[in-house]
Amino acid sequence: MSSQSQFIAHLTLEDLAKREFRDDGTGKSTLMLQVAAEARSKGYEGICIPLTNEKWKSRWRDLCLLPSEDVMDNRQEMEKKGEEWRANPGFDLDEVTITRLEEAEKVVGITSDLLDLDSSDDWVRNDSEIALLQELAYASYLGVRTVILPAPRNRAFVASYARAVNAALKANPYIILSVRIPIYDPQMIQLSSGTPGTLTGASLKFVDDQPSIATWEMWDAIRTICDYDPRLTLTLDMTPPLPAELEVLYQWVAEPTRYLFLPASAFISNAKGYPVLTKGTQSFIRDIMKIQPHVILSGTFSGRHTKGGEAAYSQYVRHLEKTSPYIKAANTTGTVENFAHGYQDYLQKPLQPLMDNLQSMTYHTFEQDPVKYRNYEEAVFRALSEWPKPGKIIICVAGAGRGPLVVRCLTAAVRTGKEVLVYALEKNPSAFVTLQSKLRREWGDKVKLLFGDMRTAPVPEPVDILVSELLGSFGDNELSPECLDGAMRFLKDDGISIPASYTAYLAPLSSSKLYNETRVTKDEKEVETPYVVMFQAVNILSGDGGGIRGVCGPRVQECWEFEHPRRDAVLNEQGLPPTNSHNARSAKLTFHIPHAGVLHGLAGYFEAVLYGNIGLSIHPDRMQKISKDMLSWFPIYFPFKEPLYLPSNSELQVSMWRLTSDRQVWYEWCAEAFLPLPGTSVLPEKPKALANTEDDTSQLLAPLTTPTIIHSPLADADDSTSAFTSEKISLGCPPDESGSEGAGSRIGLVKIGQTSLHNPGGRSSWIGL
């Protein structure tokens, strides 16, 4: 169940000037208290007002900015006054809008619009910063919780703006600052049709992503300079109407968008005269409602729209919120969104059930999942139905836990009418007590219990069907491959494994929130741990379509796969693999980044084939089809220690490894960013003549020992669906990989950045074997 967004009433100095104080005779009321009470009575949570008034503006202008250069009579005098102010900045009583603690309650303050923190003039910036600190000191004094800063306006001096904001954050340790940023810059828009000035949304189309990226890029520069201070938030100014194409705007969901600033002027009238928003803006608001920004409404009492009155604006926005797909899902029992309430963007350490024995409550939680067990039962049902041989079918549930899969196997057997014997094998001695209880009370002689680790425990007879559920959010991260290697000892040669295979997927992710969550610890190990997390304030940065060079994979890419049973395996006398080398994996993936963003981590998913076309999936594009409303797995998150800036149309090359020693399994990951340069070519043509002359030069650089004609037998041993074949590995890489990416291609690549290697040597989050 999700709570509702709150509304805040915005009042300008002009708005306030029109209000009249009504003396109630108590001597305690003030104009501001009356204004606030009126707003609350209309359903607003609070009011948003400037902290200072025209009197202050006028004095400040005199202090710092001479009216013109030829009026120099009192110049020295005014400069002296300016210096006096700089030495002791402070307000007079009649220069501020609020003066009492009660007046400051639930007020969102706005700093003076005179402040010009990104002026190209040094002195204007200097004095603006002093005035900003003066306003914030006063707001802090009165206990104002949040202050909205003026929008940055000058890209060339955004670093100066940001530095001043950072100084303000440090000087006021309890206040929350919110930078007002227009959702895009209409000055940069190209109208695809229609005439300039008719910005009604319908006629509007972004020709490229610059109009939006320009303002986001300012925000990104500011929060990066402020080192992602958690007290620095964003007031997204929705004044410009939005075009229908919204993909480029998703990034705002991954930012700390605390307020939406929505003036009455952003509304259009519907046929009946009521205020409504353009289709693009509707759609955007429905989307961003999942991170529940407060909505600041402005000018709603000005009668701009003929019908509905002041309340019509908030009623309409509330309607959008209620029809948001995310909010609807969150309010519907049985959905992941509903189940995960309170866990959004919350980082959890992945379970390590091989190393740690699970608690009964953990089993209980996962047994709630209606979809996972239904699909398992269906998979066993089909496997039994299609089983070609007569007679009793021997099933082993490896890792039986408290027995839910045993129950499903028995039900499936009843449905097929075939005779089965189920071995329930479990290593957790506590859960084994529960299994004994169920055996005695429910299962009888259809089930035999076996205690022990599936890699070593004796099993009385070879089995036909091996059923296991050892999957993690990334597929293999709970060591399913290693455990099932050990269980293959007692699977018949023509036996089948449920699951038959599972595949890990990756996508590049942006999320200010998750970045800040992972680095609250200064412990490097913790920063490099993968986490299980229900994503919410995130944006997948990649897009489909191949990118400018046409070599990139899809938005979410296959990382690697595991199959069971493994074919052509080399085994020792105990039927176990002599080393774990065959469970090492690596992937190099190339993602197309259509719109600029900051990479904070990788989102990991899995998809498993249980049997035939029955599966389990948390792949964002396929989960609805394969296992809708399955609750057992949130995605996994591989964080990066340092954010990596990715421009529009860049290529991101991600390397991910699954590594193994004789004791551990762990992941390492890193990424490189490139920008394709259209129209360039690294090499006009390849100087093959040079490469073929076997002089000392070419010999040195391409030693004759390169095993170019020798193939790996074990790679060949893996069949074509394995991630080990070179075609899969080279997915997304340029066709010609002879030392320079892009050689032979029409479009060259320029490297623009790189992350470090994460979790080297498995120093954190290794998994004991």
Q: Is 268 in the site for a copy of itself (CB under 8 A)?
A: no
- Footprint of a copy of itself on 290-349 (CB under 8 A): none
For strands 748-754 and 447-451, give the pairing. Answer: unpaired
Q: Is 714 in the site for a copy of itself (CB under 8 A)?
A: yes
- Please name the helix (run of DSSP H) or strand (run of DSSP E) that holds residue 732, with its range, or none: none
The residue among 26 and 68 lying less far from a copy of itself, judged by its C-beta, is 68
Q: Which of 29, 30, 126, 283 binds a copy of itself (CB under 8 A)?
A: 126
- 453 marked ligand binding residue: yes
Nearest CA among 43, 33, 45 for reference residue 8:
45
Whole-number Å distance between alpha carbons of 102 and 441: 66
- 373 marked ligand binding residue: yes
Say which residue the tokens 């029409």 belong to. 746
DSSP assignment string, 492-517: EEEEEEES-EEEEEEEEEE-HHHHHH
Nearest CA among 463, 459, 450, 458 for reference residue 392:
463
The residue among 36 and 226 lying less far from a copy of itself, judged by its C-beta, is 226
The catalytic residue among 95, 378, 478, 558 is 478
Helix 210-225 to helix 158-171 angle, to the nearest 10 degrees?
40
- 372 marked ligand binding residue: yes
> What is the CB-side half-sphere exposure of residue 37 using CA atoms within 13 A?
10
Q: How far is the CB of 424 from a copy of itself (least distance, A)?
A: 32
Q: Which of 13, 16, 268, 702 binds a copy of itself (CB under 8 A)?
A: 702
3-state secondary structure 180-232: EEECCCHHHCCCCCCCCCCCCCCCCCCCCCHHHHHHHHHHHHHHHHCCCCCCE
The residue among 101 and 207 lying less far from a copy of itself, judged by its C-beta, is 207
Task: Give the binding range for a copy of itself (CB under 8 A) out of 9-17, 478-486, 547-555, 689-697.
Answer: 689-697
Q: Is 726 in the site for a copy of itself (CB under 8 A)?
A: yes
The residue among 332 and 756 lying less far from a copy of itself, judged by its C-beta, is 756
- Footprint of a copy of itself on 576-615 (CB under 8 A): 577-579, 581, 584-586, 588, 596
Whole-number Å distance between alpha carbons of 524 and 764: 9
Nearest CA among 274, 209, 278 for reference residue 238:
278
- Residue 157 phi/psi, 5° resolution? -120, 25
Q: Is 747 in the site for a copy of itself (CB under 8 A)?
A: no
Q: Which of 2, 166, 428, 503 binds a copy of itself (CB under 8 A)?
A: 166
- Footprint of a copy of itself on 637-676 (CB under 8 A): 642, 645, 647-648, 653, 655, 657, 662, 668, 670, 672-673, 675
Take residue 660 and report the two structure tokens written for it.
């193994």
Active-site residue, 469 included: yes
CB-based contacts of 403: which residues, under 8 Å, 6+ apart? 424, 434, 435, 438
Q: Is 193 in the site for a copy of itself (CB under 8 A)?
A: no
CA 342 centroid distance within chain? 16
- Footprint of a copy of itself on 541-560 (CB under 8 A): none
Q: Is 86 in the site for a copy of itself (CB under 8 A)?
A: yes
The residue among 99 and 754 lying less far from a copy of itself, judged by its C-beta, is 754
Q: Is 93 in the site for a copy of itself (CB under 8 A)?
A: no
Q: Is 170 in the site for a copy of itself (CB under 8 A)?
A: yes
Q: Which of 103, 135, 237, 369 binds a copy of itself (CB under 8 A)?
A: 237
For strands 463-468 and 501-510, give the pairing. Answer: unpaired
Whole-number Å distance between alpha carbons of 413 and 407: 10
Q: How far is the CB of 6 from a copy of itself (least distance, A)?
A: 23
The residue among 33 and 124 lying less far from a copy of itself, judged by its C-beta, is 124
Residues 210-229, one symbol each (x = binds a copy of itself by CB under 8 A, - = not), give x---x--x--xx--xxxx--
Q: Is 700 in the site for a copy of itself (CB under 8 A)?
A: yes
Task: Give the binding range for a copy of itself (CB under 8 A) out of 35-43, 337-345, 489-497, 707-715.
Answer: 707-715
The catalytic residue among 469, 517, 561, 651 is 469
* Secondary structure class of 109 (helix, strand, coil): strand
Task: Give the binding range for a copy of itself (CB under 8 A) out of 110-118, 459-467, 473-481, 487-495.
Answer: 110-118
Whole-number Å distance between alpha carbons of 170 and 149: 15
- 454 marked ligand binding residue: yes
Q: How far is the CB of 570 from a copy of itself (least distance, A)?
A: 5
Whole-number Å distance between alpha carbons of 588 and 553: 11
- Catalytic positions, written as ranges: 469, 478
- Binding-site residue ranges for S-adenosyl-L-methionine: 363, 372-373, 426, 453-454
